[in-house]
Structure 1
């Protein structure tokens, strides 16, 4: 796991990272709102998000 970056060790975070996190959060929020408006069940939205989180975690620890 030497390729995993622990952000809490790099505090304070740069403005670029803060902006990227803010943009990511906004994009996720908009996508969730669009999915709900389209009628996707909440459980499906949660399962898709969980699947992506699991895949990203796998990518971080497989190296």
Structure 2
């Protein structure tokens, strides 16, 4: 977990970090919109997002 940065210690965030967060947020929102338009059930979308969040959290904790 040595690569995890607490944001309150890194403030203010650099322009590059802000741009990356904005791009990630937009990509997630666009993917969710596309999934909804394709007819995926909302529960499946939420479950997939939750699974990825859990997997990434696990990866951060074990590193």
Q: Please indicate, yes or no, whether the TM-score normalized by the shorter chain is above 0.5.
A: yes
Q: TM-score, normalised by structure 2?
A: 0.94
Gaps of 5+ in 1: none
User: What's the RMSD between the two structures over aligned residues?
Assistant: 0.8
Gaps of 5+ in 2: none
Q: TM-score, normalised by structure 1?
A: 0.94
- 1:11-49 deviations in whole A, cap 9, x for unaligned? 000000000000000000000000000000000000000
Tell me which stretches of 4 or more aligned residues in structure 1 moved more than 2 Å: none
Distance 1:16 1:58 in 2: 25
Specify the alignment match of 1:15 in structure 2. Answer: 15
